[in-house]
Chain A
Amino acid sequence: MSISFQDVIATGPITVVSIVALVVLIVETIRDKTELLTCWISITGLVLAMIVAFTSIENTGTAYSGMVNTGGYANFFAVVFCIAGLLSTMLSKSYIQKENIEHGEYYFLLLLAVVGMMLMAAAADLIIFFLGLELMSVTFYVMAGFVRKRQASNEAALKYFLLGAFATGFLLYGIALLYGSTGTTNIESIISRADILPPNTTFLIGLGLLLIGLAFKVAAVPFHMWVPDVYEGSPTTVSGFMSTGGKAAAFSALLLIFAPKLVNLVGPIQEVLAVLSALSMIVGNVIAISQTSIKRMLAYSSIAHAGYLLTGVVAANASGTKGILFYLIAYTVMNIGAFGVLSTFESKDRQNLTFDDYAGLSSKKPVLAGLMALFMFSLSGIPPFAGFFGKYYVFVGAVEAGYTWLAIVGVLMSVVSVYYYLRLVVLMYFKEQAVISEPTVSSLGLTALVISGVAVVELGIFPSTVLNIIANFF
Chain B
Amino acid sequence: MTAETVLFFIVAACAIASAVLMVMQRNPVMSAIFLIGNFFTIAFLYLILQAQLLAVLQIVVYTGAIMVLVVFVIMLLNLGDEKKLTERFDIKKVLGVILVFGFLLEMLYLFGISEETRVYAGLNPKAVAVGTVESMGKAMFSTYLFPFEITGLLLLASIVGAVVLAKRRL
- A and B are interacting partners: yes
Specify which chain B residues have a CB less than 8 angstroms from the CB of A131 in the assembled complex: 147, 150-151, 154
A84 proximal to B (CB < 8 A)? no
Q: How far is the CA of A17 from the CA of B83 in the complex (A)?
A: 58
Cβ of B146 and Cβ of A105 under 8 Å apart? no
Q: Mark A189-210, 1 if CB is under 8 A from B, else 0.
A: 0000000000000000000000
A3 proximal to B (CB < 8 A)? yes
A30 proximal to B (CB < 8 A)? no
Cβ of B151 and Cβ of A65 under 8 Å apart? no
Q: How far is the CA of A302 from the CA of B152 in the complex (A)?
A: 32
B112 proximal to A (CB < 8 A)? no
Cβ of A67 and Cβ of B160 under 8 Å apart? no
Cβ of A108 and Cβ of B145 under 8 Å apart? no
A96 proximal to B (CB < 8 A)? no
Q: Which residue of A lies closest to B149 (CB)?
A: A3
Cβ of A108 and Cβ of B150 under 8 Å apart? no
Specify which chain A residues have a CB less than 8 angstroms from the CB of B157 in the assembled complex: 109, 112, 135, 138-139, 142
Q: Mark B146-165, 1 if CB is under 8 A from A, else 0.
A: 11011101101110110111
A156 proximal to B (CB < 8 A)? no
Report the minimal beta-carbon distance from A154 to chain B, rounded to whole angstroms: 9
Cβ of B150 and Cβ of A119 under 8 Å apart? yes
Q: Known contacts being A109-B157, A142-B164, is A135 close to B150, with CB within 8 Å?
A: yes
A67 contacts which of B147, B153, B154, B170 (Cβ < 8 Å)?
Answer: B147
A150 proximal to B (CB < 8 A)? no
B117 proximal to A (CB < 8 A)? no
Q: Known contacts being A131-B151, A135-B150, is A65 close to B142, with CB within 8 Å?
A: yes
Cβ of B154 and Cβ of A138 under 8 Å apart? yes
A261 proximal to B (CB < 8 A)? no
Cβ of B160 and Cβ of A105 under 8 Å apart? yes
Q: Known contacts being A67-B146, A127-B147, A128-B147, is A105 close to B153, with CB within 8 Å?
A: no
Q: Which residue of A lies closest to B164 (CB)?
A: A105
A109 contacts which of B144, B146, B149, B161 (Cβ < 8 Å)?
Answer: B161
| Residues 116-170 of B contacting A (Cβ, < 8 Å) | 141-147, 149-151, 153-154, 156-158, 160-161, 163-165, 170
Q: Known contacts being A128-B147, A142-B164, is A1 close to B154, with CB within 8 Å?
A: no
Cβ of A141 and Cβ of B161 under 8 Å apart? yes
Cβ of B143 and Cβ of A65 under 8 Å apart? yes
Q: How far is the CA of A342 from the CA of B25 in the complex (A)?
A: 59
Q: Known contacts being A105-B170, A115-B153, is A65 close to B145, with CB within 8 Å?
A: yes
Cβ of A142 and Cβ of B161 under 8 Å apart? yes
Q: Mark A103-117, 1 if CB is under 8 A from B, else 0.
A: 101001100100100
Report the minimal beta-carbon distance from A34 to chain B, rounded to whole angstroms: 13
Specify which chain B residues have a CB less than 8 angstroms from the CB of A64 in the assembled complex: 145-146
Cβ of B153 and Cβ of A103 under 8 Å apart? no
Q: Known contacts being A18-B153, A67-B147, A112-B153, is A25 close to B160, with CB within 8 Å?
A: yes
Give the number of chain A interface residues (Cβ < 8 Å). 33
Report the minimal beta-carbon distance from B53 to chain A, rounded to whole angstroms: 18
Cβ of A128 and Cβ of B146 under 8 Å apart? yes
Specify which chain B residues have a CB less than 8 angstroms from the CB of A109 in the assembled complex: 157, 160-161, 164
Specify which chain A residues have a CB less than 8 angstroms from the CB of B170 in the assembled complex: 103, 105
Report the minimal beta-carbon distance from B22 to chain A, rounded to whole angstroms: 27
Report the minimal beta-carbon distance from A281 to chain B, rounded to whole angstroms: 34
Q: Which residue of A lies closest to B167 (CB)?
A: A148
Specify which chain A residues have a CB less than 8 angstroms from the CB of B165 in the assembled complex: 142, 145, 148, 157
Report the minimal beta-carbon distance from A7 to chain B, rounded to whole angstroms: 8
Specify which chain A residues have a CB less than 8 angstroms from the CB of B154 in the assembled complex: 131, 134-135, 138
Specify which chain A residues have a CB less than 8 angstroms from the CB of B141 in the assembled complex: 1
Cβ of B145 and Cβ of A128 under 8 Å apart? no
Q: Which residue of B lies closest to A136 (CB)?
A: B157
Q: How far is the CA of A131 from the CA of B157 in the complex (A)?
A: 12
Specify which chain B residues have a CB less than 8 angstroms from the CB of A68 in the assembled complex: 146
Specify which chain A residues have a CB less than 8 angstroms from the CB of B163 in the assembled complex: 105
Cβ of B145 and Cβ of A138 under 8 Å apart? no
Q: Which residue of B lies closest to A108 (CB)?
A: B160
Q: Which residues of A does B touch, CB under 8 Å? A: 1-3, 7, 18, 25, 63-65, 67-68, 103, 105, 108-109, 112, 115, 119, 125, 127-128, 131-132, 134-135, 138-139, 141-142, 145-146, 148, 157
Q: Which residues of B does A touch, CB under 8 Å? A: 141-147, 149-151, 153-154, 156-158, 160-161, 163-165, 170
Q: Beyond A68-B146, A109-B157: 19 further Cβ-contacts under 8 Å?
A: A2-B145, A3-B146, A7-B146, A18-B153, A25-B156, A25-B160, A64-B146, A65-B142, A67-B147, A105-B164, A108-B160, A112-B153, A112-B157, A115-B153, A131-B151, A135-B150, A135-B153, A138-B158, A139-B161
A and B contact pairs by CB, cutoff 8 A, 20 listed: A1-B142, A3-B146, A3-B149, A18-B153, A64-B145, A64-B146, A67-B143, A67-B146, A67-B147, A105-B160, A109-B160, A112-B157, A127-B144, A131-B150, A131-B151, A135-B154, A138-B157, A139-B161, A142-B157, A148-B165
